[in-house]
Amino acid sequence: MIEDATLTKVLGRAMATGAEFAEVFAEDKRSSSAHLDDGKVEELSSGRDRGAGIRVVAGDTTGYAHTADITESGLLAAAEAAAAAARGGGGGARVVALGARHDADRGYRYEILPEDVAKATKVELLVKANDVARSSGSAITQVSASYADSRKRILVANSDGLLATDDSVRTLFSVSCVASADTGMQTGRQSIGHTMGFELFDRYDVEELAREAAERAITKLLARPAPSGQMPVVIGSGGGGVLFHEACGHGLEADLIAKGASVFKGRVGELVASPMVTLVDDGTMAREWGCFGIDDEGNAAQRNVLIQDGVLTDYMWDYLRARKEGRSSSGNGRRQSYQHLPMVRMTNTYLLASDGDPDDIIASTDHGVFVKHLGGGQVNTATGDFVFGMTEAYLIENGEITEPLREGNLIGNGPEVLQLIDAVGDDFAMGPPGTCGKDGQGVPVGDGVPTLRVSSLTIGGTAA
Amino acid sequence: MTAATSGDLLDLVDKVVGWAGAGEQIEAVAVRGTDTEIRVYDGEIESLSSAQSQGVGIRVVHDGRQGFAYAATFEPTILAEALAEARDNATFATVDEFQLLAEPDGVPVPELDLYRASLTTCPTDRKIDLALELERAVVALDPRIVGFESTDYADTRFEGAIASTTGIRNAGAETSAFLSTYVMAGHHDETRTGFGFSVGREPADLDPERAAADAVSRATRLLGAAKPPSERLTVVLDPWVTAQFLGIIGSILDGESVLKGRSLFADRLGEVVASPLLTLIDDPTDPRAFTATDTDGEGLACRRNVLLEDGVLRQYLHNAYTARRAGTVSTGSAVRGSFKGLPGVGVQAVSLLPGTATQAELIASVPNGVLVQDVAGLHSGVNPVSGDFSTGADGLRIRHGEVAEPLAEFTLGSTLQRMLLDVSAVGADLEWLPMSASGVSLVIHDVTVSGT
């Protein structure tokens, strides 16, 4: 993408005003998507994004400039803009010696690159999903299906001599259905996404995905309003680790800790959760939606244990926060694109399985809610209050799963909810692909949980 | 937008449109943005980012099939590649007789004054000072402020041009400036947060004192908040919350949702769907709106559209495609997230016709209720297709017509259908907010509060 000699020159220029650190992040991304709705293949889209962002750190100030012009002159101009923004003193030029270029090793190969697959083959998947969803029941009145792939090559070079590259291929497929009856309309959605090529469809069956989406919509036609108030909640295996993502994931990001904007500040070494909780953030998890070879600051992906048997072991770190604390990054420096500054982000965040029998967990719940699939969520890290949605849920009555419930949010407080986890199953599974938003930037993340129970959460429904 | 400012972008889109072959429709959109983002922390600049970004989106329609491609660059070879991709993409689409580009419809483009040259001439130091002033103002207001999550200044100078083989041809530029802070108030072990912001077209429009006062008040008045018991009662939505609610209502009224059987309000034109107190208007030609714009995502003139009138459903919003399919004309409501996608259809600057009462007067009319200051998780708890509504919230108890103790960690539950009918008062306090909706205080009865 960019010659070593050019990188050396650009980093030198970026450091010319006496900054302590400079970095070039370059990206070349090709993406394609296809969308079917209302029985028609509506649009195929192709995109090309290419550019570089230059970061300069002087004291506590970061300067940033990005450009779509990755010629030497374009990069030098951006380097000057970033250096000016960082307002370093007049330290004079510094020579940057880059190490050998290191291409990230992911431990697996992409088998079928998206650019080697005919568009007609991608469109066939959409048509197949549409046909299957529509034939899943006469109540299905609308179906949309989406296919998307991307290949993003990145290069990171910095004034510490780091020079690393990575190549990320992601493939995503989703189906959304509307079911209609006298009771109104309901929706069901299913998606799969992995950091791999078109081999995704050798491993997963879009017809099964379409059937699940349709069944979810149809089931909810008979759903009753969700209850209102506090009760035990069982989360299904693989239903979505968004509970942990919101309840404590964001609160363990070192940038929020540094500003005192997290209820988990100063609590490393303390028991912050039920002893059944061991929580991991793992960027090395092969093929998962949130994995990568190097993070967007050039550090190799890592597996980090955040909570071990209920005890908080560490936060997640990027370059800037780690440097301030005199430690190394944990490989959690990520950004949406070259147009954005990196910050501390999660990768694949999951709860380790324990030894509970999932059936027993339900059977031992007298009256509560079983959430089979979670939706998105949101957290205020400073107060710890968080919400997450349920897109498929059922009532538990006398230890048995009974009636389906309409959609709604659940609300809780992170540190309290972590202590209230009183059962963890042995049936771990990863959930569907997600996009995590922070400060206006979205990055792909994964999550996973075994069946688990929270002894008390507030359900935001309308029924007494 | 004014045509004089973006001549080179018009040249660029003209060039792409000129590449059209026989029987082929082409639409090209070119944009260029210059952004400045400044974050301050503890009296220092934490980060300063300045950048220019640009790109072109190309839509091709041939024999009722549409294809799209974009490139985040103006490099001619890459644009030619994008056009070839868009053409190729079109060959895989299903033939749709309604799939044609927008045609000029004779509606004059309104003259809106959305560009301020001062934005680009204002020194960066002045912009930094605004953010620092905001931080200082917050600290000076209340000793219970214990920290900041962020304090930001951001501005954008945006230029765009669109042209098509059907004769659409527009260009213009606009500016916006934004100041915001997220603060933390503390007392013993408790922390509460609040935000404040100020928006305008240029730095001189921004009011750091106002943003500081809002943030401090929002954070400090929640100190001591407890989870309320679950019960059904009356809520007063703050304008900020109402605006988010209106954004969801807007998504039920777009022609695409209606045509594709995803709207609660399909086949209900002329019927009462809301309280007679509600008149809902989408008017991007009102220059006070943060999202004001003279032309829509397909280059047609924007116009004022009355969606609900005294609670009666009057019309849906349409772009060229949904209008043609519905047998009507575009309402100038094509929305484009960016040059990287095809235009959809939706609200651009929606607002309720305000009532006559102040928020204090509305509160005085409520014997037992909750003033809702903020909501969280609308994206996960509201389903605009089914109408199910559930959101996290915080705010203040209303007791005997007066605000009382703070409340947090509860949800509000109802359905969108019921909430529209259950509105019992609309405030006079119209606020223009940094989103595609403005807000007023709104009183809604019979909402379920879920807490303990």
Same domain, A124 and A96: no
Question: Hey, of B40, B153, B383, B417, which one would you mutate to test binding to chain A, going by the most A CBs within 10 A of its CB?
Answer: B383
pLDDT tens by residue, B96-125: 999 999 999 999 999 999 999 999 899 999
Q: Is A163 part of a structural domain of the chain? A: no
Q: Is A241 part of a structural domain of the chain? A: yes
pLDDT tens by residue, B274-300: 999 999 999 999 999 999 999 999 999
Question: Residue B4 — pLDDT band, cuts 50, 70, 90?
Answer: very low
Same domain, A121 and A84: no
Chains A, B: CB contacts within 8 A come to 256
Encoding tokens for residue B207? Answer: 């009011």
Of A181, A204, A221, the residue that ends a domain is: A221
**CA A446, A142, B326 angle in degrees (round to 5)?**
125
Same domain, A234 and A303: yes
For residue A442, what are the contacts with CB-CB under 8 A and spacing of at least 6? A336, A435, A436
Same domain, A404 and A327: yes
Do B262 and A261 count as a contact with CB atoms less than 8 A apart? no
Tell me the one-letter amino acid at B401: G
Q: Is A371 part of a structural domain of the chain? A: yes
Tell me what pLDDT residue A88 has.
61
A7: number of Cβ within 10 Å: 24
Taking residues B222-234, what's their average pLDDT?
Answer: 97
Same domain, A204 and A342: no
Q: How many CA atoms lie within 13 A of A410 on its CB side?
A: 34
Encoding tokens for residue A245? Answer: 């993502």
Do A458 and B67 count as a contact with CB atoms less than 8 A apart? no
Same domain, A128 and A258: no
Strand ranges, E, within A254-302: 279-282
Determine the Cα–Cα distance for residues B304 and B317; give it in Å rounded to an integer. Answer: 11
Closest CA to A238 of A177, A190, A299, A166: A190
Looking at the predicted structure, is the pLDDT value of residue B2 above 70? no
- Pairing relation of β-strands A40-58 and B65-71? parallel
Q: Where are the domains of chain B?
A: 3-220, 225-452
Q: The domain that contains A38 carries what CATH number?
A: 3.30.2290.10
Looking at the predicted structure, is the pLDDT value of residue B1 above 80? no
Kindly report the nearest CA distance between residue A145 and chain B, in angstroms. Answer: 14
pLDDT tens by residue, B6-56: 679 999 999 999 999 999 999 999 999 999 999 999 999 999 998 888 999
Question: Residue B213 — pLDDT band, cuts 50, 70, 90?
Answer: very high
Tell me what pLDDT residue B124 has.
93
A389 vs B contacts (CB less than 8 Å): 377, 379-381, 390
Q: Does A195 touch chain B (CB under 8 A)?
A: no
Q: Calculate the CA A188 to chain-centre distance.
A: 21
Tell me what pLDDT residue B202 has.
96
Do B66 and A43 count as a contact with CB atoms less than 8 A apart? yes
* Predicted TM-score of the model (pTM): 0.95
Encoding tokens for residue A264? Answer: 């988990």
The whole-number mean pLDDT for each consecutive block of 10 residues of chain A, a chain of 464 residues, reads 94 91 97 97 94 94 93 94 79 70 88 96 98 97 98 97 97 98 95 98 97 97 96 92 92 96 97 98 97 97 98 98 96 97 97 97 97 94 95 97 96 96 97 94 97 96 88
Domain that holds residue A208: 114-149+168-221
Q: Is A350 part of a structural domain of the chain? A: yes
Tell me what pLDDT residue A94 has.
64
Q: In chain B, pLDDT over 90 holds for what percent of residues?
A: 96
Question: Hey, of A380, A392, A410, A417, which one would you mutate to test binding to chain B, going by the most B CBs within 10 A of its CB?
Answer: A380
Same domain, A306 and A442: yes
Q: Calculate the CA B405 to chain-centre distance.
A: 32
CB B448 within 8 A of CB B413: yes
B230 vs A contacts (CB less than 8 Å): 228-229
pLDDT tens by residue, B300-311: 999 999 999 999
Q: Is A455 helix (H, G, I), strand (E, B) or coil?
A: strand
Same domain, A82 and A186: no
Question: Hey, of A41, A43, A80, A257, which one would you mutate to test binding to chain B, going by the most B CBs within 10 A of its CB?
Answer: A43
Encoding tokens for residue A82? Answer: 């970033």
Looking at the predicted structure, is the pLDDT value of residue B3 above 60? no
Same domain, A65 and A97: yes
Burial of B231 (0-12, 13-18, 19+ CB in 10 A): middle
Encoding tokens for residue A17? Answer: 């005003």
Same domain, A418 and A297: yes
Same domain, A329 and A438: yes
Interface ipTM = 0.93
- Mean per-residue pLDDT over chain B, rounded: 95
Superfamily covering domain B3-220? PmbA/TldD superfamily (3.30.2290.10)
Same domain, A207 and A244: no
Tell me, letter by letter, the H, E, C secondary structure of chain B: CCHHHHHHHHHHHHHHHHCCCCCEEEEEEEEEEEEEEEEEECCEEEEEEEEEEEEEEEEEEECCEEEEEEECCCCHHHHHHHHHHHHHHHCCCCCCCCCCCCCCCCCCCCCCCCCCCHHHHCCHHHHHHHHHHHHHHHHHHCCCEEEEEEEEEEEEEEEEEEEECCCCEEEEEEEEEEEEEEEEEEECCEEEEEEEEEEECCHHHCCHHHHHHHHHHHHHCCCCCECCCCEEEEEEECHHHHHHHHHHHHHHCEHHHHHCCCCCCCCCCCCECCCCCCCEEECCCCCCCCCCCCECCCCCECCCEEEEECCEECCCECCHHHHHHHCCCCCCCEECCCCCCCCEECCCCEEECCCCECHHHHHHCCCEEEEEEEEECHHHHECCCCCEEEEEEEEEEEECCEEEEEEEEEEEEEEHHHHHHCEEEEECCCECCCCCECECCEEEEEEEEECC
**What separation in angstroms does the CA of B138 have from each of A259, B134, B141, B154, B380?**
16, 6, 5, 18, 32
Domain count, chain A: 3
Do A409 and B259 count as a contact with CB atoms less than 8 A apart? no
Q: Is A424 part of a structural domain of the chain? A: yes
Q: Is A158 part of a structural domain of the chain? A: no
Encoding tokens for residue B203? Answer: 């730095």
- Pairing relation of β-strands A452-460 and A228-235? antiparallel
Q: Is A281 part of a structural domain of the chain? A: yes
Q: Is A160 part of a structural domain of the chain? A: no
